[in-house]
């Protein structure tokens, strides 16, 4: 998927991916750590606030309970109604939070209560015999034999308000006989306003529940007294709230998730703390939006920073990637142009600084310069080579011109025919052959092989050929001519080269072949009966090395139709790819097979046989053949 991408986008993509991962990880860690810290801070703050509220209420409630306890401890069983009223008046007068105060006799003394309550800054007393015997404010302290705070209730026949009451049972001295119950009523309105005032931070709302879970104060007025935290938890489907409620009535201080709050109209958290004197619990319910506003802000900030970081990173990466790849791209274009043959393309501008890229560009141009220089050298060398080849061609044609090819002109019908070939291994060769008329009845034949090959051998061969032509006149036998030629070329030979030579004379009238040899293979004579006989080899040193006193010679009789087959060692030493020599034995048998046909046919067929033998192998030596067929005596 990515391998087709160019370097710059690939670099940007992968670096961006990597950096984004790191960025996300860092943002996540930052966010979670920040969130945890903020959460802890918030929990501490909210819990502290609620605890403060609880303590403030506690102080007031504690004050009320102390006043009532004090009054109860001072009560005497012989108090008259007016004394009781004075006692109740004091409780109400000096405690603005107390709405009313009551003294109730137990029914075994008399079924009666004295109740004083605040009305328009006056204290009004009423005596009534309502069925207080079933009211919690009377039965609870009586049956529990201890002071209690009641759950909220509606005070019929008195202040006609929702209230809670602190009730203290009074017992006779030194006995457990109940003398009465004394109470202080606190209006729920008053508690609500206190709770509202305490909620200084103005975040969320406070509510208050009794030790039985009954709602004493709540922004939802119709819940007050009627509902409990558990009925709300049940009806609103807030199972966590039930757990919180149980904690609250157990006097636990805590903080946790509330669920969806109807009042806040959002998911909320709750913090609560107990009011020790009453066993009540105060709670603060704050919407998550408000509570986590800091965290949400942090969240937004982290997203913003992350996103800006991402953009910035993208821009930086783009700039870096392009600054790195721009010279590479330019270099690539230059290389492509160069590869397409524009060798003189302009040098690209160098990027600033010194780095791998600049040295790559430098090396590329150095390489380009070297290639151009090499090309120039090659051009020169090629021109030189071409010139030499041209000269060699000329030399070859000159050399070939030294070799006679006028076989048809030279042949004498019914007397003799001759044919030769010289195939040099290189452009020019070191072999030679020649034939010429020494007199009317005598034909001179020569074949030779210079020890080297190539131009020096060719030049040497020219010398030998020229010297032979100049020196060999018609009165000389082959051995005399060979001795003379050897003497001449040895004298002028400053090189270490030498030449093998075979000089022969055909006496057309006598039908003889006289020959002299200087280190050259002896020729074959093919007879009409297809016998192939190599003439006798004559010992004699190769020519051109030292002044050999006298070469000897030999004469063989020729029959009509005999063919003299002269050759250089390029024939029998012709090698194939496996370095196998053609060999004189195979040569003799091939000649026997060919028979005494016309010399040109013999030569052509043998050359084909040699080619066949060599296969594709490169020709290692010059191949030279001179073939003479004697038809009959000249009369």
The site for another protein, by CB under 8 A, has a size of 33
* Joined tokens for residue 219: 């922004």
Decide: helix, strand or coil at residue 276. coil
Asked if 53 interacts with another protein (CB under 8 A), we say no
- Residue of the chain from 14, 48, 70, 156 that contacts another protein (CB under 8 A): 156
Nearest distance from residue 226's CB to another protein, in Å?
Answer: 6
Q: CA-CA distance, 635 to 489, in Å (whole number)?
A: 37
- Residue of the chain from 165, 217, 228, 479 that contacts another protein (CB under 8 A): 228
Report how far apart, in Å, the C-alpha atoms of 116 and of each of 91, 105, 112, 150 are: 10, 15, 13, 18
Asked if 169 interacts with another protein (CB under 8 A), we say no
- Residue of the chain from 48, 70, 154, 307 that contacts another protein (CB under 8 A): 154
Asked if 185 interacts with another protein (CB under 8 A), we say no
Q: CA-CA distance, 575 to 572, in Å (whole number)?
A: 9
Give the H or E element holding residue 168: strand 162-171
Cβ proximity to another protein, 134 vs 349, nearer residue: 134
3-state secondary structure 392-406: HHHHHHHHHHHCCCC
Fill in the per-residue mask, 246 to 285: x = in contact with another protein (CB under 8 A), - = not in contact.
Answer: x--x------------------------------------
Asked if 189 interacts with another protein (CB under 8 A), we say no
Cβ proximity to another protein, 245 vs 540, nearer residue: 245
Asked if 245 interacts with another protein (CB under 8 A), we say yes
| Burial profile 328-339: b = 16 or more Cβ within 10 angstroms, e = fewer | beebeebeeebe
- Residue of the chain from 201, 212, 530, 531 that contacts another protein (CB under 8 A): 212
Asked if 131 interacts with another protein (CB under 8 A), we say yes
- Residue of the chain from 143, 386, 393, 440 that contacts another protein (CB under 8 A): 143
Nearest distance from residue 277's CB to another protein, in Å?
Answer: 15
- Residue of the chain from 12, 182, 229, 395 that contacts another protein (CB under 8 A): 229
Four-CA torsion 217, 223, 229, 231, nearest 10 degrees: 170
Cβ proximity to another protein, 48 vs 154, nearer residue: 154
Stretch that binds another protein, among 1-9, 239-247, 457-465, 545-553 (CB under 8 A): 239-247
Asked if 125 interacts with another protein (CB under 8 A), we say no
Asked if 100 interacts with another protein (CB under 8 A), we say no
Asked if 187 interacts with another protein (CB under 8 A), we say no
Stretch that binds another protein, among 96-104, 109-117, 130-138, 618-626 (CB under 8 A): 130-138
- Residue of the chain from 82, 193, 201, 226 that contacts another protein (CB under 8 A): 226
Stretch that binds another protein, among 16-24, 91-99, 135-143, 410-418 (CB under 8 A): 135-143
Give the residue from 425, 423, 421 showing the smallest Cα distance to 435.
Answer: 421
Asked if 516 interacts with another protein (CB under 8 A), we say no
What is the longest distance spanned by two Cα atoms in the chain? 202
Which residues, at least 6 apart from 163, have a Cβ–Cβ distance to it below 8 Å? 99, 100, 152, 153, 154, 155, 185, 186, 187, 188
Stretch that binds another protein, among 33-41, 137-145, 194-202, 525-533 (CB under 8 A): 137-145
Other beta carbons less than 10 A from residue 538's beta carbon:
18
- Residue of the chain from 16, 50, 57, 225 that contacts another protein (CB under 8 A): 225
Q: How far apart are the first and last CA of the chain?
A: 99
DSSP class per residue in 74-120: H--TT--HHHHHHHHHHHHHT-TT--EEEEE--TTT-S-EEEEEEET
Determine contact, residues 585/547, Cβ cutoff 8 Å: no
- Residue of the chain from 10, 43, 90, 234 that contacts another protein (CB under 8 A): 234
Give the residue from 262, 263, 258 showing the smallest Cα distance to 245.
Answer: 258
Give the H or E element holding residue 241: helix 239-249
Other beta carbons less than 10 A from residue 569's beta carbon:
18
- Residue of the chain from 92, 102, 104, 140 that contacts another protein (CB under 8 A): 140
Nearest distance from residue 245's CB to another protein, in Å?
Answer: 5
Nearest distance from residue 171's CB to another protein, in Å?
Answer: 16
Asked if 553 interacts with another protein (CB under 8 A), we say no
* Joined tokens for residue 216: 């004493």
Nearest distance from residue 164's CB to another protein, in Å?
Answer: 11
Cβ proximity to another protein, 222 vs 356, nearer residue: 222
> How big, in percent rounded to 5, are the helix, strand and coil portions of the chain?
45, 25, 30
Place of tokens 């007393």: 125
Place of tokens 């991408």: 5
- Residue of the chain from 53, 91, 92, 151 that contacts another protein (CB under 8 A): 151
Give the residue from 476, 511, 518 showing the smallest Cα distance to 629.
Answer: 511
Q: CA-CA distance, 428 to 453, in Å (whole number)?
A: 8
Nearest distance from residue 113's CB to another protein, in Å?
Answer: 16
Catalog residues that contact another protein under the rule CB under 8 A.
Answer: 131, 133-136, 139-140, 143-144, 148, 150-154, 156, 211-214, 225-231, 234-235, 242, 245-246, 249
């Amino acid at each position: 998927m990515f391998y087709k991408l160019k370097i710059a986008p690939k670099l940007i993509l992968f670096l961006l991916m990597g950096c984004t991962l790191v960025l996300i990880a860092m943002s996540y860690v930052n966010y979670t750590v920040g969130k945890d810290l903020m959460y802890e801070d918030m929990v501490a703050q909210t819990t502290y606030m609620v605890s403060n509220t609880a303590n403030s209420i506690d102080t007031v409630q504690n004050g009320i309970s102390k006043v009532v306890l004090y009054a109860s401890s001072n009560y005497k069983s012989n108090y008259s109604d007016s004394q009781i009223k004075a006692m109740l008046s004091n409780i109400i007068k000096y405690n603005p939070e107390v709405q009313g105060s009551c003294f109730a006799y137990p029914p075994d003394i008399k079924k009666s209560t004295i109740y004083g309550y605040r009305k328009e800054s006056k204290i009004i007393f009423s005596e009534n015999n309502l069925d207080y015997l079933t009211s919690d404010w009377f039965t609870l302290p009586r049956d529990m034999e201890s002071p209690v705070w009641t759950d909220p209730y509606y005070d019929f026949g008195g202040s006609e308000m929702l209230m809670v009451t602190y009730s203290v049972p009074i017992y006779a001295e030194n006995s457990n006989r109940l003398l009465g119950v004394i109470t202080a009523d606190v209006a729920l309105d008053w508690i609500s306003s206190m709770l509202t005032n305490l909620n200084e931070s103005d975040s969320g709302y406070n509510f208050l529940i009794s030790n039985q879970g009954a709602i004493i104060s709540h922004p939802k007025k119709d819940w007050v007294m009627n509902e409990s935290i558990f009925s709300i938890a049940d009806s609103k489907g807030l199972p966590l709230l039930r757990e919180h409620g149980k904690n609250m009535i157990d006097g636990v201080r805590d903080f946790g998730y509330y669920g969806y709050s109807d009042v806040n109209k959002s998911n909320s958290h709750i913090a609560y703390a107990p009011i020790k004197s009453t066993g009540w619990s105060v709670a603060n319910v704050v919407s998550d939006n408000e509570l986590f506003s800091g965290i949400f802000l942090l969240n937004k900030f982290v997203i913003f920073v992350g996103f800006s970081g991402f953009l910035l990173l993208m821009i930086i990466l783009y700039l870096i990637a392009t600054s790195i790849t721009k010279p590479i791209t330019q270099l690539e274009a230059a290389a492509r142009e160069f590869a397409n043959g524009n060798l003189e393309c302009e040098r690209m501008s160098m990027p600033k600084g010194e780095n791998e890229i600049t040295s790559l560009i430098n090396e590329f141009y150095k390489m380009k310069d070297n290639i151009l220089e090499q090309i120039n050298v090659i051009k020169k060398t090629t021109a030189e080579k071409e010139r030499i080849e041209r000269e060699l061609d000329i030399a070859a044609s000159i050399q070939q011109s030294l070799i006679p090819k006028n076989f048809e002109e030279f042949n004498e019908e019914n007397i003799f025919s001759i044919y030769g070939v010289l195939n040099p291994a290189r452009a020019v060769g070191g072999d030679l052959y020649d034939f010429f008329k020494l007199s009317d009845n005598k034909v001179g034949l020569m074949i030779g092989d210079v020890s080297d090959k190539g131009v020096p051998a060719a030049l040497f061969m020219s010398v030998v050929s020229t010297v032979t032509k100049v020196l060999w006149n018609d009165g000389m036998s082959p051995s005399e001519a060979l001795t003379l030629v050897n003497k001449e070329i040895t004298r002028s030979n400053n090189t270490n080269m030498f030449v093998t030579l075979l000089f022969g004379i055909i006496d057309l009238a006598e039908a003889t072949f006289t020959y002299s040899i200087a280190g050259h293979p002896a020729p074959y004579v093919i007879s009409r009966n297809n016998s192939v006989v190599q003439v006798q080899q004559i010992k004699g040193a190769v020519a051109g090395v030292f002044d050999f006193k006298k070469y000897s010679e030999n004469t063989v009789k020729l029959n009509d139709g005999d063919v003299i087959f002269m050759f250089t060692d390029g024939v029998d030493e012709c090698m194939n790819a496996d370095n196998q020599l053609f060999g004189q034995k195979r040569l003799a048998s091939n000649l026997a097979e060919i028979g005494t046909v016309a010399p040109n046919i013999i030569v052509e067929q043998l050359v084909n046989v040699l080619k066949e033998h060599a296969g594709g192998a490169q020709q290692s030596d010059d191949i030279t053949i001179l073939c003479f067929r004697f038809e009959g005596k000249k009369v």
